Amino acid sequence: MDGCELDRVNRQLVHALQVDGRAPLSRIGSVIGVSDRTLGHRYRRLRELHGLRVVAVPNSRNIGVRDWLVRIRQAGETVPALAAQLARRQDVTWVGIAAAGTEIMCIVHTLIGEEDAGLWRALRQVPRAAVITTQCLLQPVAGATGWQVRTEALDSDEVSALRPHAAHDSDGERVELQDGDWRMLRALSKDGRLGFSRLAEVTGWSEASARRRLATLRHSDAVRFTVEIAPALFGYEVEAMVWLKVTPMLLSETSAALARHPEVAFAAHVTGDSNLMAMVMCRDTQGLSHYMLQQISLLPGVLGAEAQIVVRRTKRAGSPPPALTTTAARRHVDTHAMLRGMSTTSPVAAASPRFRTDAIEHANPS
């Protein structure tokens, strides 16, 4: 499988790993009717050539963490280096460069009750001339269990056979994570399929203790596993961030309609001038234009919309992966280098930068 898109068996494998990121390949093979040897070969090829990864993602709601969507504009020529710095932080995910290489968007995770300090720490390297806007992610409305295009290869019986357990409904009860939990989650954010012997090493626990604790965290829905793989392998070449301003009384109806769009990989209610955001995947720029004109415009209660194409992702849900193989590296085009000539450097602000949080401006502490 060296083509530009995935065939049926590879789509089934990706879907199965989204259902249970730690399922043994032998179990997946038995469910989809493929031999262990064939499935193992395909899994290795997807990892080596296309960067397939399973990563652990803490469930912020259940561990006392608040998530913030951050936009950094007017950062000038520092954008590539700043995006790389943000990607290395454990409290920052989904780092992307947009607006022809002049804007950075990311999600910052802060402990509840320490939001100011957490945002300052994460953003302290931002240049003083930059403008920072933050929006609190209030409630996911789509994509919490995976992008629907990536999860349509298995039927309901196959999904049931692979599903590891039913997460316990914590009813708002938070799970207190200890130092060993965080060490385990950091390791799993790089490779969600690490064996228990390795998890025992990083936590200082026995293998049995590591196994029990991970099972507990999964059962309490404190941690989930997701698949990282390029949307282009599913035929979607363009990724964009979309912000919608929706009449409040129609927000629930609009959110439900938006969640049914196959283009929407993730969506959530947010604070600020726009109250609904979405990560959108389209086949090309013409497809994005059609999506905005023919689908977004028809949603009930939409008063305004903004879209920005993400030209480069330096980090998704998990920690940045190690260097890809030479073949994979050739497939990952440095879009910023191609667009550098198109970018414009913002004029340097005369005073300290502005930090806009939920439509209220603050001075950047850096």
Domains and CATH numbers, the chain: 1-50 (1.10.10.10), 61-146+231-315 (3.30.70.920)
Please state the pTM of the whole predicted model: 0.83
pLDDT at 171: 56
Of the candidates 59, 66, 67, the residue with the CA atom closest to the CA atom of residue 220: 59
Label residues 17-37 b or e (16+ Cβ within 10 Å = b): bbbbbbbebeebbebbebeee
What is the phi/psi pair of residue 68, to 5°?
-130, 130
| Cα–Cα dist 281/263, whole Å | 5
Structure tokens given for 291: 């999506």
Of 39, 126, 25, 150, the residue nearest 366 (C-alpha)? 126
Between strands 302-315 and 360-363, the pairing is unpaired
Over residues 170-204, the pLDDT tens digits come to 555 789 999 999 999 999 999 999 999 999 999 99
CA 49-4-259 angle, to 5 degrees, is 100
**β 354-357/131-142 pair status:** parallel
Coil/strand/helix, residue 116: helix
Q: Any idea what DSSP says for residue 258? A: H
The pLDDT of residue 363: 36
CA gap 319, 57 in Å, rounded: 10
Q: Give the integer Cα–Cα distance in Å for 290 and 56.
A: 34
The helices-and-strands tally (H runs, E runs) of the chain is: 14, 12
pLDDT in the model for residue 232: 94
Q: How confident is the model at residue 164 (pLDDT cuts 50, 70, 90)?
A: confident
pLDDT > 70? residue 346: no
Mean per-residue pLDDT over the chain, rounded? 86
Over residues 145-155, mean pLDDT: 94
Is-contact 31 158, C-beta < 8 A?
yes
Whether the per-residue pLDDT at 268 is higher than 60: the answer is yes
Q: Per-residue pLDDT tens for 86-119?
A: 999 999 999 999 988 899 999 999 999 999 999 9
| Owner of token pair 């259902």 | 19
Does residue 117 contact residue 111 with C-beta atoms inside 8 Å?
no
Q: Are 52 and 44 in contact (CB under 8 A)?
A: no
